[in-house]
């Protein structure tokens, strides 16, 4: 293990908010490591290679979802750091077919947050469609990466933070957001799409209100507080409300292939592995911008 990012999903696992975790479980699914042992017959990877281990740890390969290229929805999957042991550790075991070769460009710490915040953020952005005006609700690890990707694609980014969180709004602008404000504010113009990274169900009606006719709201988190009821007119006019679950290996390959051109700069706060509980507490309290990364 070289580095492991800390994701909000790790908090959900630790807090017992996700059903049927492996127990006891080693959390962590943004793993950057080097192969120091390898099974017979593994193709395309060698001892010493630097690889990334993401959330999707294993799929069955035979269910209807796997066969229709929707392995993110596999009926019998394993998820790293949730239903199989993950990366808050000095070593981890992974299914080689679900490891991404990372090459030698970029530091271990800077790459770690890309393995979930980047990859699931990427899937969310693809599912948001190719509209030019994209709102990002919850400006943490995922949004700080996806803002840069969207800007690289020539889109305008609108960043939404907790009301009054001027520091994070300034952070969003520093990453190229055209506008940043509180989640209770309306953007200066209607959005083509919005992605909700925060785990707050109250944001759903607000985001629907912020998108234009035919616009799409994507819920990117694995867990969300209850969504309040809202008037049908917020959904009417063919607005769409969808969720994103997990990732496929193709998402990872597509994203990592374009990484050299995207020029993403991740903002990270490093903690030694022994301080994992401090890292989780700081994430919970929103005490840093960007992403926390553990170093064993």
Regarding 74 and contact with Zn ion (CB under 5 A), the answer is yes
Nearer to Zn ion (CB atom), residue 66 or residue 191? 66
**Residue 60, interface with Zn ion (CB under 5 A)?**
yes
Q: How far apart are CA 204 and CA 195, in angstroms?
A: 10
Q: Segment contacting Zn ion (CB under 5 A): 62-70, 206-214, 225-233, 254-262?
A: 62-70
Shortest distance, position 202 Cβ to Zn ion, whole Å:
22
d(CA 214, CA 181): 23
Residue 66 interacting with Zn ion (CB under 5 A): yes
Near Zn ion in 98-157, by CB under 5 A: 116
Quick check: helix, strand or coil at residue 278?
helix
220 makes contact with Zn ion (CB under 5 A):
no
Q: Is 198 in the site for Zn ion (CB under 5 A)?
A: no
Helix (H, G, I), strand (E, B) or coil at 242: strand
d(CA 38, CA 44): 11
Question: Least distance in Å: CB of 116 to Zn ion?
Answer: 3
Phi-psi group of 44: left, alpha or beta (phi > 0 → left; psi -120 to 50 → alpha; rest → beta)? left
9-28 binders of Zn ion (CB under 5 A):
9
Residues 6+ apart with CB under 8 A from 179: 158, 159, 187, 188
Query: Least distance to Zn ion from the beta carbon of 70, Å?
Result: 9
Residue 78 engages Zn ion in binding (rule: CB under 5 A): no
Largest interatomic CA distance in the chain: 58
- Residue ranges that bind Zn ion, judged by CB under 5 A: 7, 9, 59-60, 63, 66, 74, 116
């Amino acid at each position: 293990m070289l580095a492991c990012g800390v994701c909000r999903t790790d908090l959900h696992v630790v807090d017992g908010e996700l059903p049927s975790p492996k127990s006891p479980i080693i959390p962590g699914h943004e793993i950057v490591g080097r192969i120091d042992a390898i099974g017979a017959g593994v193709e395309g990877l060698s001892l010493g290679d630097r690889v990334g281990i993401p959330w999707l740890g294993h799929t069955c390969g035979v269910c209807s979802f796997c066969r229709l290229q929707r392995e993110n929805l596999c009926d019998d999957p394993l998820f790293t750091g949730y239903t199989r042991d993950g990366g808050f550790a000095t070593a981890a075991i992974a299914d080689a077919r679900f490891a991404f070769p990372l090459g030698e460009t970029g530091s271990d710490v800077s790459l770690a947050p890309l393995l979930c915040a980047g990859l699931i953020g990427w899937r969310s952005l693809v599912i948001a469609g190719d509209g030019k005006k994209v709102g990002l609700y919850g400006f943490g690890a995922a949004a700080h990466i996806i803002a840069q990707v969207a800007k690289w694609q020539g889109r305008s980014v609108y960043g939404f933070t907790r009301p009054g969180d001027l520091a994070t709004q300034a952070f969003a602008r520093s990453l190229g957001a055209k506008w940043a404000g509180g989640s209770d504010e309306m953007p200066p113009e209607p959005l083509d799409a919005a992605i909700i990274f925060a785990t707050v169900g109250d944001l759903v009606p607000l985001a629907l209100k912020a998108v234009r006719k035919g616009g799409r709201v994507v819920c990117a988190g694995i867990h969300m507080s209850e969504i309040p009821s809202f008037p049908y007119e917020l959904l009417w006019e063919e607005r769409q409300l969808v969720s994103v679950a997990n990732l496929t290996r193709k998402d990872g390959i597509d994203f990592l292939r374009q990484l050299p051109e995207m020029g993403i700069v991740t903002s990270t706060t490093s903690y030694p592995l022994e301080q994992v509980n401090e890292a989780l507490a700081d994430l919970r309290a929103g005490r840093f911008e960007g992403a926390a990364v553990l170093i064993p």
